Chain A
Amino acid sequence: SAVISQKPSRDICQRGTSLTIQCQVDSQVTMMFWYRQQPGQSLTLIATANQGSEATYESGFVIDKFPISRPNLTFSTLTVSNMSPEDSSIYLCSVRPGQGPAADTQYFGPGTRLTVL
């Protein structure tokens, strides 16, 4: 498995502002993902963070709203831009090591709990 940390763990923000969430992994991983978990809901994939190229976004998510960076194989950031109360969610980073028996298993960070007022 992989050890994943996220910063911040939680934040309360004003509408119209932006927040950048960091995800750090203790080893190099092939694939990194960002998910959103709205209150009382399941997880929805926002995008796949590609190392050295633009992220791949899922339907309903756009780069202008959720810009993502992945400068290397152990780190990624997700920015939630121009926030509104509807963006209040838990944002989770996950990784897929992509090697051996765990090749298709994803491991999740502890999440960032965002509240937008």
Chain B
Amino acid sequence: GNSVTQMEGPVTLSEEAFLTINCTYTATGYPSLFWYVQYPGEGLQLLLKATKADDKGSNKGFEATYRKETTSFHLEKGSVQVSDSAVYFCALSDPPGKLIFGQGTTLQVKP
């Protein structure tokens, strides 16, 4: 079946460092791909999405490109801030509409 694998955390970075969180997927067909973020004590917020190969999703300085050839959707940000500290979930849409999530990656940004 379909699945999502994320790099294990926690990821600890200094402020203004470059961030990459790896995400790979296994899927039949062409699912949409998502990154969600969960700040401490809160629910999930949609961060960005991409619906087809080579699409780039972007939001709040974060980017991810849908790479069909490598079945990847890595999350990147050029300069992280302390306020980016959260848990990040990669997910894919699995018909008829449910989401399959990766295990989540905790990011901690230190001043």
Contacts and interface: CB of A to CB of B under 8 A. Distances in A.
B43 A111 contact: yes
Contacts of A108: 36, 43-45
B46 A107 contact: yes
Contacts of B101: 42-44
Contacts of B93: 104
Contacts, number: 50
A63 to B, nearest CB: 17
A7 B42 CA distance: 14
B20 interface: no
B40 interface: no
Interface size class of A (residues with CB under 8 A): 20 to 34
Contacts of A45: 98-99
B22 interface: no
Interface of B: 32, 34, 36, 42-46, 49, 51, 89, 93, 96-99, 101-104
Interface of A: 1, 31, 33, 41-45, 48, 58, 92, 94, 96, 98, 104-111
Given A104-B97, A108-B44, 19 more contacts: A1-B46, A33-B97, A33-B98, A41-B103, A42-B102, A43-B44, A43-B99, A45-B98, A48-B96, A48-B97, A94-B99, A105-B32, A105-B46, A106-B46, A106-B97, A106-B99, A108-B45, A110-B43, A111-B42
